[in-house]
Chain A
Amino acid sequence: MKFSLKPTPAFVRDMTDGHSVLGLAVSTLLYIVCVSGTLAVFYNEFERWEQASELENLEVSPSAYQLATEQAVALAKEEKEEFDSIKFTIPNTDMPRLTVEVGDIERYVAADGSLLGKVEHEWTHFLAYLHFALNLPLGLGVPLVGLIGVLMAALILSGLLAHPKIIKDAFSFRLTGSKRLQQVDLHNRLGVWASPFHLAIAITGAFIGLSQVAAFAIAGLFFDGDTERVEHILYREHPIMEENAPEMPLPDFAEILAQMERIAPNEERTKLEVAFPGREGQVVEIWTRVPEKLVWGERYHFNPDGSLIEKEGWSEGDAAKQVYLSTFRLHFGHFSGFPVKIAYFLLGIGMCVLVVSGINIWLVRKRQRGQPAKRLERVWMAQVWGIPFAIALSAVTYLAFAVPAAQVFWGTTVVLSVVAAFAGTVAGWSMLLRGATIAACVLAVIVHTSIFGADSFVHASLVANAVWLLIAAGIAASCLYTWVRRRDGAFASSVGSAVGSR
């Protein structure tokens, strides 16, 4: 019997059918996760964009932490806010703003340590929440998005297996062919060449999303339901404060930061947390970013007098911890700075196109078989352009009127889908919503500029506004291209009919 690794036509057909089943099962949700994830690459920039005029300063003296801690504790007591720790964002290149968080209170901090205005990143948090939980309750949304990650990995695998001429067709891009061939080539080329990115995103996404489910399962089976026991396999246990612990002076921030400078001069500090500030048993944790490592960071624990308790060791030693903690930066594209973010953004757009072209292939095939799903085609088109439109609109309405972004997004998406089910044409919805998305993106920049003035075009705001404008420009270019082709088509048919009538 002859053994061959070449897939049989039946195998390819089965894989293609399976690929279609999986793709159709999650189409809209997968598309929402992809679009929101593509924008969320610029999460830090959007957070700074929302409050564009806040102070940015990388140099903070240790005394600022001292004063900010005192003021934050006083504020928390005044507002009867319960807390057992104080968290600072140490200004770093991703977020060059000093902030303090105590309980649910979050404030910016001036260079001298006095508290400034509230930290408000509602729209960015909506965007991230949409991406990782579809705005559902966390316990339901995060595993659901994790499941979408698994489905995505299965889609990539079945897509690659359904592709017998993967090498031969690697550079074949026949856009002048039929609509179906165009979509197939677009789908296959994007799918194959960007598959390492897609797989990395899908697997890390599934891993992040389902880790809580896995922790519950392991805790339930092996540790009597104690999920903290599972958590402490990867993370050090937090200290527990004794009730009515006596008060004592705040930690010596100057000594702790000086120690950090001696221990890890090349690591960028990102967070500082004081557990039980001003009480006996208080400890200080400092998070850093480690050069050349994908791990989320490293954590150092200090006594209040500045002596090091221990380095957690995420960036060295235990390979399993390193792998686990590397999934986040790999998924978010937050390593190596801005060019990698641009690459993730572009490949993210490619992923959105991949999802859209996949469903388009199925719709075209149905049409060619004489079973067009006209209503479904309209709904799908309304979602393809309606979802980016709804996201951009939510930014405009939040900036201008502080309307909750999740309500605007889901309301717009549902209304457009329902209306498209009963009215309009595919081409009409496409052009209308492309125009609306362009308008919403431009409007986001206009509203931002009207609020923040010159601050709209410096630092992270420049990046965020450039993202909106580039999206608008890209969609405008696609509209122009469609319009030119339609005009040529109308011209050709009028010439044809004129010649025919002679």
Chain B
Amino acid sequence: MGKLPFLRFTIRWEPKSPSVIFMPSSFYIVAGLASIFTFAGIASLYSAWLRSGPQPLRSWLGWGLLLLSAFGWSAVVGVEYGVSIATLLVMIGALSLLAIKGDWPSGPPRQEKKRTGSPAPSEALLQLWLRGTLRFLAIALLPTASGLLAGLLYFGFASSGESARLVGGAFVSVIVWTLAMVWCSADRKLLRPSAGLLIFSLASGLVLMPTAA
């Protein structure tokens, strides 16, 4: 077991060719059950969340079935593939349900409502552009510096093997970078994230300086 060759799609009739390899019947039974659990779980969550008021039984049943589905897939294709496949199935299943249940418009397109408002004066627009440019620069520069420095700090000071520090540092870098971007883009007072990230970057730089080879 292990490979999923039954899923490989090839159409060929010559003997020496990529061919469809059949899996044991137990595989199809467990995988089929796991898929049914996925769709039952989504249906249970759907019925829970569409009703007014809390529906703990339906909700927990839904989450439980989704978990069972992940266990089922993991049992037949291993944890790494199993969790990935179960998650993909949940996403595809939920989006398919939405597409089926969505109230697709059939008549002519509705006229758009216009809200009251007048165009902003040119001075306000100029200010808006200036602020936007500043924010863009802050988003581009400060999170980059903070993310990279956080990764370097992790690599320099975490107490694990070299490869764990390298890969961990890369992940820390991406996560700090992302969080810093969200902060820079969402905080109304741009000065706050700018100052915070600048201080973090400078402090990190000072800490890292003695370690430089």
Provide the residues of chain A in CB contact with B87, threshold 8 Å. Answer: 196-197
A222 with B7: CB separation less than 8 A: no
Provide the residues of chain A in CB contact with B156, threshold 8 Å. Answer: 221-222
User: Which of A311-369 touch B at CB < 8 Å?
Assistant: 318-321, 323-324, 326, 330, 335-340, 343-344, 346-347, 350, 364, 367-369
Asked whether B119 is an interface residue with its Cβ less than 8 Å from the other chain, the reply is: yes
Asked whether B72 is an interface residue with its Cβ less than 8 Å from the other chain, the reply is: no
Which of A174-182, A400-408, A410-418 lies on the face that meets chain B? Answer: A174-182
A370 with B116: CB separation less than 8 A: yes
Q: B1-42 CB contact bits vs A (8 Å, 1 = yes)?
A: 111111111111000111000000000000000000000000
Provide the residues of chain B in CB contact with A330, threshold 8 Å. Answer: 84
Q: Per a CB cutoff under 8 Å, which of A207, A217, A491 touches B152?
A: A217
CA distance A206 to B143 in the complex (A): 14
Provide the residues of chain B in CB contact with A324, threshold 8 Å. Answer: 163, 166-167, 170
Q: A265-295 CB contact bits vs B (8 Å, 1 = yes)?
A: 0101000000000000000000000011110
Provide the residues of chain B in CB contact with A125, threshold 8 Å. Answer: none
A340 with B7: CB separation less than 8 A: yes
CA distance A22 to B187 in the complex (A): 13
B11 with A486: CB separation less than 8 A: no
Q: Mostly helix, strand, loop or mixed at chain B's interface?
A: helix
CA distance A350 to B9 in the complex (A): 23
B178 with A485: CB separation less than 8 A: no
* Given A213-B148, A485-B108; 9 other pairs, CB 8 A cutoff: A58-B17, A171-B46, A196-B91, A210-B173, A214-B173, A224-B213, A294-B81, A458-B11, A459-B10
Q: Per a CB cutoff under 8 Å, which of A170, A207, A268, A462 touches B174?
A: A207
B132 with A21: CB separation less than 8 A: yes
Provide the residues of chain A in CB contact with B98, threshold 8 Å. Answer: 171, 173, 189, 193
Closest Cβ–Cβ distance, residue B135 to chain A (whole Å): 6
Provide the residues of chain B in CB contact with A194, threshold 8 Å. Answer: 91, 95
A234 with B163: CB separation less than 8 A: yes
Asked whether A493 is an interface residue with its Cβ less than 8 Å from the other chain, the reply is: yes
B78 with A293: CB separation less than 8 A: yes
CA distance A346 to B147 in the complex (A): 32
Which of A33-41, A153-161, A237-245, A436-444 lies on the face that meets chain B? Answer: A153-161
CA distance A168 to B149 in the complex (A): 39
B81 with A179: CB separation less than 8 A: no
CA distance A493 to B177 in the complex (A): 53
Provide the residues of chain A in CB contact with B101, threshold 8 Å. Answer: 171, 173
CA distance A171 to B94 in the complex (A): 8
CA distance A6 to B4 in the complex (A): 43
Which of A11-19, A114-122, A134-142, A388-396 lies on the face that meets chain B? Answer: A11-19
Asked whether A419 is an interface residue with its Cβ less than 8 Å from the other chain, the reply is: no
Closest Cβ–Cβ distance, residue A496 to chain B (whole Å): 10
A207 with B171: CB separation less than 8 A: yes
User: Which of B63-86 touch A at CB < 8 Å?
Assistant: 77-81, 84-85
Closest Cβ–Cβ distance, residue B144 to chain A (whole Å): 8
CA distance A148 to B78 in the complex (A): 32
A368 with B114: CB separation less than 8 A: yes
Provide the residues of chain A in CB contact with B185, threshold 8 Å. Answer: 17-19, 21-22, 154, 158
Provide the residues of chain A in CB contact with B203, threshold 8 Å. Answer: none
Provide the residues of chain A in CB contact with B113, threshold 8 Å. Answer: 178, 368
- Pairs across A and B, CB under 8 Å, 27 listed: A17-B186, A18-B185, A21-B132, A56-B18, A149-B174, A170-B49, A175-B103, A193-B91, A193-B94, A197-B91, A207-B174, A218-B151, A222-B156, A233-B163, A234-B166, A293-B78, A319-B164, A320-B166, A323-B167, A335-B84, A336-B4, A369-B115, A370-B114, A370-B118, A371-B117, A459-B12, A485-B106
Q: Per a CB cutoff under 8 Å, which of B10, B169, B177 touches A93?
A: B10
B91 with A157: CB separation less than 8 A: no
Q: Per a CB cutoff under 8 Å, which of B46, B77, B166, B211 touches A336?
A: B77
B182 with A189: CB separation less than 8 A: no
Q: Per a CB cutoff under 8 Å, which of B10, B80, B102, B161 touches A318?
A: B161
With CB as the reference atom, state the residue of chain A lying closest to B87: A196
Asked whether A103 is an interface residue with its Cβ less than 8 Å from the other chain, the reply is: no
Provide the residues of chain A in CB contact with B164, threshold 8 Å. Answer: 318-320
Q: How many residues of chain A get a CB closer than 8 Å to chain B's CBs?
A: 101
Q: Per a CB cutoff under 8 Å, which of A21, A158, A217 touches B148?
A: A217
Shortest Cβ-Cβ A-B pairs, 9 listed = A291-B2, A489-B108, A292-B78, A18-B186, A337-B7, A18-B185, A338-B9, A154-B181, A173-B102
A214 with B49: CB separation less than 8 A: no
Provide the residues of chain A in CB contact with B117, threshold 8 Å. Answer: 369-371
B110 with A179: CB separation less than 8 A: yes
Closest Cβ–Cβ distance, residue A323 to chain B (whole Å): 6
B11 with A175: CB separation less than 8 A: no
A221 with B88: CB separation less than 8 A: no
A371 with B120: CB separation less than 8 A: yes
Among B95, B166, B173, chain A packs the most CB atoms within 10 A around the CB of B166
Provide the residues of chain B in CB contact with A58, threshold 8 Å. Answer: 16-18
Asked whether A105 is an interface residue with its Cβ less than 8 Å from the other chain, the reply is: no
B92 with A210: CB separation less than 8 A: no
Q: Per a CB cutoff under 8 Å, which of B84, B92, B144 touches A347?
A: B92
Asked whether A308 is an interface residue with its Cβ less than 8 Å from the other chain, the reply is: no
CA distance A16 to B25 in the complex (A): 50
Asked whether B136 is an interface residue with its Cβ less than 8 Å from the other chain, the reply is: yes
B212 with A221: CB separation less than 8 A: yes
Closest Cβ–Cβ distance, residue B31 to chain A (whole Å): 11
A56 with B110: CB separation less than 8 A: no
Asked whether B199 is an interface residue with its Cβ less than 8 Å from the other chain, the reply is: no
Asked whether B139 is an interface residue with its Cβ less than 8 Å from the other chain, the reply is: yes
CA distance A320 to B103 in the complex (A): 47
Closest Cβ–Cβ distance, residue B192 to chain A (whole Å): 11
